[in-house]
Chains A and B, each alone.
Chain A
Amino acid sequence: RKEVEQDPGPFNVPEGATVAFNCTYSNSASQSFFWYRQDCRKEPKLLMSVYSSGNEDGRFTAQLNRASQYISLLIRDSKLSDSATYLCVVTPGGNTPLVFGKGTRLSVIA
């Protein structure tokens, strides 16, 4: 069973669209949750942490459902610059290693 599973993608959306990504994780001991962004052939960069109450950062909203072991990311008003691969990442917490999903590719089209 894969530890972190994500929508396969790719998602091709027009500028201004709203797009949602989903992720499920198998380790019920996971305590910390993140969305990372990765551009082609570049390093992953932290987009936002995900908190139990849900959190928002500008056009980005993340939600966590611990009971269902499910995480989501919503991007509103998509920009061309949002085109990237979005990685769902979990960890038991502290300084334990991050576990990455395979990522979902987003292409925002003019």
Chain B
Amino acid sequence: EPEVTQTPSHQVTQMGQEVILRCVPISNHLYFYWYRQILGQKVEFLVSFYNNEISEKSEIFDDQFSVERPDGSNFTLKIRSTKLEDSAMYFCASVQNGGEKLFFGSGTQLSVL
């Protein structure tokens, strides 16, 4: 089965530092997403991306967050100045246009100290 790949699997950073989380969606998928899950909490939507632009974002996705598709394969999430409350598992996901099954990557565990 095709896979969404995320790197790194773990990221530890100091408060106030910038981090970039990387994802390689499945090659023929057109919609890309970032979700996050704080320990013990539900999976929360951050942002969706289609046709090289943000199609939807949640209240969580404020000015410190940005996404980019710098080339034909990578999809990145940047957090400009990390806060303690950004500590969470971040999942990338992708889906074909009109497809029902969302494929999730294995996640990046971000720890902000």
Residues of chain B within 8 A (CB-CB) of A13 are none
Interface of B is mostly: strand
Contact check, B97 vs A98: say whether CB atoms are below 8 A apart: no
- Within residues 87 to 107 of chain A, which ones have a CB less than 8 A from any CB in chain B? 87, 94-103
Select B105's contact among A32, A41, A43, beta carbons within 8 Å: A43
Interface of A is mostly: loop
Chain B interface size, under 10 / 10 to 19 / 20 to 34 / 35 or more: 20 to 34
Contact check, A46 vs B43: say whether CB atoms are below 8 A apart: no
User: Which residue on B lies nearest to A101, using beta carbons?
Assistant: B42
Give chain A nearest CB distance to B102 CB in angstroms.
6
The reply on B68 being an interface residue by CB < 8 A is no
Contact check, A102 vs B98: say whether CB atoms are below 8 A apart: no
The reply on B41 being an interface residue by CB < 8 A is yes
Contact check, B50 vs A103: say whether CB atoms are below 8 A apart: no
Q: A41-B89, A44-B43, A103-B42 are in contact. Are A98 and B102 (CB under 8 A)?
A: yes
Chain A interface size, under 10 / 10 to 19 / 20 to 34 / 35 or more: 20 to 34
A99 to B48, CA, bound (A): 13
Q: A43-B104, A43-B105, A46-B101 are in contact. Are A95 and B42 (CB under 8 A)?
A: no
Convert B76-113 into 0s and 1s, putting 1 for each residue whose CB lies closer than 8 angstroms to a CB of A. Answer: 00000000000001010001011011101111010000
Residues of chain B within 8 A (CB-CB) of A87 are 42-43
